[in-house]
């Protein structure tokens, strides 16, 4: 399977602490994206990092990409209760032809304790 693997599967921290989630994948990618899903809802796109980028920031989010290790990390700084959600990485693999698609990981369930 080309599906990415996320680590940890679940993470529980205190409000104000930083949360780090990791994603590993198996083959060369065009880009990697992170999405958030609140319980029982659809996914919301957070950030995209392209294969030629190493780090991107968006507000309290910081994403890194190491193509040599085929891995990415998502860091949420100064966590808030509202950050409680599942976080998924999704990869776009290079395909010669045909429709493009994303492959989603299993997700990390993040709980922020007040």
CB 73 within 8 A of CB 11: no
Quick check: 57 binds another protein (CB under 8 A)? Answer: no
Residues 25-53 as b or e (16 or more Cβ within 10 Å = b): beeebebbbbbbeeeeeebeebbebeeee
100 binds another protein (CB under 8 A): yes
Instruction: Confirm or reject binding of residue 97 to another protein (CB under 8 A).
Output: no
Q: C-beta of 78: minimal distance to another protein in Å?
A: 26
- Within 10 angstroms of residue 97's Cβ, the number of other Cβ atoms is 4
> Does the protein bind another protein through residue 96 (CB under 8 A)?
no
> Is position 72 an interface residue for another protein (rule: CB under 8 A)?
no
Q: Which is nearer to another protein, 27 or 30 (CB)?
A: 30
């Amino acid at each position: 399977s080309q599906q990415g693997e996320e680590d940890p599967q679940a993470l529980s921290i205190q409000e104000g602490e930083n949360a780090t989630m990791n994603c590993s994948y198996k083959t060369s990618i065009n880009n990697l994206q992170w999405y958030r899903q609140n319980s029982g809802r659809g996914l919301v796109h957070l950030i995209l990092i392209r294969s030629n980028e190493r780090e991107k920031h968006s507000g309290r989010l910081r994403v890194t990409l190491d193509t040599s290790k085929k891995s990415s990390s998502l860091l949420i700084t100064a966590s808030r209760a509202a950050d409680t959600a599942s976080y998924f990485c999704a990869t776009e693999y290079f395909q010669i032809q045909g429709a493009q698609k994303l492959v989603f990981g299993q997700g990390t369930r993040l709980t922020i304790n007040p």
